[in-house]
Amino acid sequence: MQQPITIAGTTIQPGTRRSIELPIPSFYTHTSSSMPVHVIHGRKPGPCLLVCAAIHGDEINGVEIIRRLLVHKTVDNLKGTLITIPIVNVFGFVSQSRYLPDRRDLNRSFPGSKKGSMASRLANILMTEIVEKCTHIIDLHTGAVARDNLPQIRAFLKDDEETEALARAFGVPVVIHTELRDGSLREAAREHNIPVLLYEAGEALRFNEVAIRAGVRGILGVMSHLGMRPKSSKKKNYKTVVSADTQWIRAPESGILRTIVPLGTSVGKGDLLAYINDPLGEIETEVTSTMFGIVIGKTNLPLAHEGDAIFHIARYPEVEEISSYIETYNDELDSLSS
């Protein structure tokens, strides 16, 4: 039988769901603060999946993904436990900032400590109260301000068949093997042998409907893979190809940027990506690709300084085939009703 689970002193019985306010340091106005947590604790035992968002406070797509996930008709009858935290970095979320008030990056502060900086203390609370109780994690992110990311999964896949299977179950066409970063939630969870998927899609401080729908679908796909919910008979299987090599294309000159390729485009070495002009239109510089691959990220800001990262490209051997999968996948999501 499934056993009760206790978080922040609140015990959730099998077959019930509960919202919890996880206490965190207060604002300097002495206004109390808390991290919102919602737990769905199934009647039958199974995996414990954490889905969290807004570790970077301005990355808000995941907040809407979790809201839609929690009202999905299948989650009330799941096996195991679903823990959701739509807003991890409450302070950054309130100020519409990626960082905490002291400018620290929460996702470089794990596993944290009880006596360190605010970032360290928040990381410690998340680790001890939530992460150590989990078996799997999906961490929801977006691009930075004025940077747009194609829906993609990033994970450490080297010699890790379980994490790769989860990444493929998420179902987005683009999966990227990335090394672990010091102080990240992924690195801290791996020390506890917890597989983590990092979902990147959209832009900071913007809702992107395709990215949100892809996120909800992907989480449900992982839950089906883990046996937490039935597998959908209507689900289409999209080919997922793993890339282990990405590269940023940087502005060769400063000026006004005119991009000509959208996200998901297949490009070859030497293909034209954008133009950079001076404000008077007297000088025009071409921006070209340095590799064969798929455009998985780009800047949305039409102002560029020399050296600015403007396109992110993932290397794939069969770029045209992958680009076709991406187009079909995005078209289907775009046609769905909310």
Average pLDDT over residues 42-68: 98
Most confident of 54-58, 234-238, 334-338: 54-58
pLDDT at 238: 66
The string of pLDDT tens digits covering residues 10-24 is 999 999 999 999 999
Average pLDDT over residues 127-151: 97
Residue 258 pLDDT exceeds 70: yes
The string of pLDDT tens digits covering residues 71-116 is 999 999 999 999 999 999 999 999 999 999 999 999 999 999 999 9
Count of CB atoms within 10 A of residue 38's CB?
18
What average pLDDT does the structure give for the chain? 94
DSSP-based three-state secondary structure for 248 = strand
Count of CB atoms within 10 A of residue 190's CB?
17
- Domain annotation for the chain: domains and CATH numbers: 5-241 (3.40.630.10), 245-335 (2.40.50.100)
Distance of CA 150 to the CA centre of its chain: 11
Determine what percent of the chain is predicted with pLDDT higher than 90. 86
pLDDT at 237: 67
More confident residue, 113 or 328: 113
Which helix (H) or strand (E) is 62 found in, with range? helix 61-70
Tokens of 53: 């968002």
Q: Whole-model pTM?
A: 0.95
Tokens of 240: 């997922």
Average pLDDT over residues 310-315: 96
DSSP code string of 182-247? TT-HHHHHHTTT--EEEEEEE-TT---HHHHHHHHHHHHHHHHHTTSSPPPTT------EEE--EE
- pLDDT classification of 328: cutoffs 50, 70, 90: confident
Query: Burial level of 6, CB count in 10 A (0-12/13-18/19+)?
Result: exposed
Residue 338 pLDDT exceeds 50: no
pLDDT at 12: 97
Spatial neighbors of 176 by CB under 8 A, at least 6 apart, are 152, 153, 154, 155, 242, 243, 244, 246, 296, 314
**Is the alpha carbon torsion for 214, 313, 297, 162 positive or negative?**
positive
